[in-house]
Structure 1
């Protein structure tokens, strides 16, 4: 099967292309709610983003101007990547989104931007709705941030940092930053656009001021979006090949492959793509998912169907995602019959006989993926809302139906 491009890569490519010194192209972008809203946010700031073609978006940089309004939807990438861009604009830029977006953590990046000289009016909680009063430039310099709640706090600042007058030296102070592969994706893509980035000191990122260059970005298939389809092969003893997977990836494919293998799959990368095969059994695991936290709902679903208990830890920050994913998974897996112990940073899941139920998705695409995986093995699982998958993969219902029909 083929999947659309990576949400994370598409979002970063859009920002880097918008801040470049010349036109850029994005090949095989993800066309979903999050990335459409990102493109619309940049357009509101004056950037030319032509999304007419499905397989190639054209980005034409232009002076960033307010007044503008940016709808972030429920996307962490937009609410954390675009306020630094708005600081470079001349004029006011207002940000707001879906009701739950106001609950997603944003204060660390707001405070970091204020320390760099950006004027921001935020809610009493330090988040949405907020207004960036852009002065046409950001002085930059040194900033300290606690990014333990999301690696996007770091990525959002780094992506705009080459355009800051003094660049940026950003220091993280606090518990470990989650989702390290996403930080590596950010720094790799910055360098590919011509930025000079030094990350040789742990928890410190130094970005020199300078131009970002327009270029063609080729977006990889989305590894997080592929997770439920790989899980389907494991649950059914079948086989799924994700076509178009690159030999060298900016996504944490080895980490994912190792985990799926430990749970009972075989994983192989060939010229045909990335293939996951089920072996007829699923094993419980003890795993730190901090680097691949987006996969937690699907891994939790597999754990509920495994032959032994699992303990999934290191993901306290996913309580601040589209919903509190730890609490949501605990509630829904318990409802379906699994034994679940909830920890501040994860879950212990003990497989038990599962039964039909209505599985609440909490407007969260990853929760819908988890429910679909369980539904392959347990008759009568009903998703309260599958339309929420449009956030990152609008084609999910059709792709899933086609996969199940073929099997």
Structure 2
């Protein structure tokens, strides 16, 4: 696995001179924003997204939908209903579902939500839609979506790869019905089919046949958002069969949706409070959410912090001590890089389990974390489904990111406690967390 060589600029990770004390306004959730864009594009009437995340992944999603004929208008409002921060100014996107059409070309970048959520949408377009992306996107599994859509009646040209690039030949409709898939490598395979399911002639019944299913909170997020726009969804949690989800065909409503802050992107800032024994407040942390990042309250408390959730947001405080943890992260795998970074600075060993699927993410995250932390003097070993981390005194050096935004923020966490850490290609954080370097230095009072 070679580190990225396209952007070799090194960013000196700021070293904390003392305990942090900051309020950090975390931008909107990528997962919610991209699901909301898809659902609004499939609705029978216009809708609004308030405080959407503007990042590489969400702009790729918006650009892809525009390429297929959807109108997305961007506005800035001073209305309190769209307040994006303390100054009362917020961005809003108005989505006009003006019909899906081809021919079109979609650039997925390296965004899992774009490459997996949009092929089902493309089957509803009137004409062919070609999907392409970054070189890494060719290596990420897509067979779960491709095979499922073929079972449901779609015609897809992928030259037998089960991956990008490919062309979906949209016919304006898809019959839908029952489909069996193995979503062990990504819960996005299930979410992709459910999101477009209401628009299929027979709806869709998705049966997961694999032995494991990672990131269940993201499927619950998809189900909640479908129900919020009027879809009827039957799930295992609502009394249905295990590992079976059913979506009834029907029209989707246009909604006015305020996007929650991205709780997974709050992770490095909460970690900063934990690592430095300081305090970070994240405004607008929701009292109820399906975002996986909400588990940070529990995990980081077990690792030595404390938190209080108020009407204003979440206040997280470090105690000055960081403890190791033995934790199953199968439902919240995206949190692994940040937890691994904190664990490398703890006072006892950690075992992170249930995340074998991370080898198929933006990069092989388990191999990357092992290599980069060990090159700073750490002692990390890969297991069959995770990492074992034995804390050691770390030293400075280059922390490679492999074009992975969560690798970059993990390196920044380590840099708080270890002088001389330099992050290669910190700009990759723009994938989901625009302006991360400024937010980070602002938190430190620089």
CA distance in structure 2 between the partners assigned to 1:250 and 1:342 by the alignment: 29
Query: Residue 324 in 1 paired to residue 364 in 2?
Result: yes
CA distance in structure 2 between the partners assigned to 1:179 and 1:339 by the alignment: 27
For residue 166 of structure 1, what is the aligned residue in structure 2? 202
CA distance in structure 1 between the partners assigned to 2:52 and 2:262 by the alignment: 10
Structure 1 stretch 337-346 or stretch 57-66: which is displaced more?
337-346
Shift of 1:196: 0.3
Gaps of 5+ in 1: none
CA RMSD between the two structures: 1.0
CA distance in structure 1 between the partners assigned to 2:411 and 2:428 by the alignment: 12
For residue 94 of structure 1, what is the aligned residue in structure 2? 130
Structure 1 residues 271-290: aligned runs within 5 Å: 271-290=311-330
TM-score under structure 2 length normalisation: 0.90
Structure 1 residues 145-160: aligned runs within 5 Å: 145-160=181-196
Return closer, same or farther for 1:123/1:357 CA change in 2, 3 Å cut-off: farther
Query: Residue 377 in 1 paired to residue 417 in 2?
Result: yes
CA distance in structure 2 between the partners assigned to 1:193 and 1:66 by the alignment: 26
Query: How many residue pairs are counted as aligned between the two chains?
Result: 406
Shift of 1:50: 1.3
Shift of 1:272: 2.2
Deviations 1:116-175 (A, max 9, x none): 000001144211001000111010000000001011000011000000000011100012
Deviations 1:18-57 (A, max 9, x none): 0000000000100000000100000001011113436100
Structure 1 stretch 48-57 or stretch 389-398: which is displaced more?
48-57
Structure 1 stretch 233-242 or stretch 269-278: which is displaced more?
269-278
Query: Residue 83 in 1 paired to residue 119 in 2?
Result: yes
For residue 63 of structure 1, what is the aligned residue in structure 2? 99
For residue 35 of structure 2, what is the aligned residue in structure 1? 12
Picking from 334, 343, 362, the partner of 2:374 is 334
Query: Residue 143 in 1 paired to residue 165 in 2?
Result: no
Divergent runs of 4+, >6 A: none
Structure 1 stretch 160-169 or stretch 52-61: which is displaced more?
52-61
For residue 265 of structure 1, what is the aligned residue in structure 2? 305
Return closer, same or farther for 1:256/1:140 CA change in 2, 3 Å cut-off: same
For residue 45 of structure 2, what is the aligned residue in structure 1? 22
For residue 192 of structure 1, what is the aligned residue in structure 2? 228
CA distance in structure 2 between the partners assigned to 1:78 and 1:159 by the alignment: 12
For residue 40 of structure 1, what is the aligned residue in structure 2? 63
For residue 237 of structure 1, what is the aligned residue in structure 2? 277
SS in 1 for 2:425: coil
Shift of 1:271: 1.9
Return closer, same or farther for 1:106/1:301 CA change in 2, 3 Å cut-off: same
SS in 2 for 1:56: strand
Query: Residue 310 in 1 paired to residue 346 in 2?
Result: no
Shift of 1:257: 1.2
Larger RCO, structure (CA 8 Å, separation 6 or more): 2
Alignment check: 8 A CA contact 2:75 2:91 kept: no
CA distance in structure 2 between the partners assigned to 1:357 and 1:144 by the alignment: 47
TM-score under structure 1 length normalisation: 0.98
CA distance in structure 2 between the partners assigned to 1:376 and 1:246 by the alignment: 27
SS in 2 for 1:105: coil
Alignment check: 8 A CA contact 1:256 1:292 kept: no
Structure 1 stretch 300-309 or stretch 338-347: which is displaced more?
338-347
Alignment check: 8 A CA contact 2:267 2:293 kept: no
Alignment check: 8 A CA contact 1:144 1:170 kept: yes
SS in 1 for 2:266: helix
CA distance in structure 1 between the partners assigned to 2:401 and 2:445 by the alignment: 23
Deviations 1:263-312 (A, max 9, x none): 11101101221111101100101111111111100000000000011000
Alignment check: 8 A CA contact 1:360 1:384 kept: yes
Shift of 1:202: 1.7
CA distance in structure 1 between the partners assigned to 2:124 and 2:303 by the alignment: 47
SS in 2 for 1:223: coil
For residue 16 of structure 2, what is the aligned residue in structure 1? none
SS in 1 for 2:219: helix
Gaps of 5+ in 2: 1-23, 77-89
CA distance in structure 2 between the partners assigned to 1:133 and 1:317 by the alignment: 30
- Decide which structure has greater helix share: 1
SS in 1 for 2:422: strand
For residue 215 of structure 2, what is the aligned residue in structure 1? 179
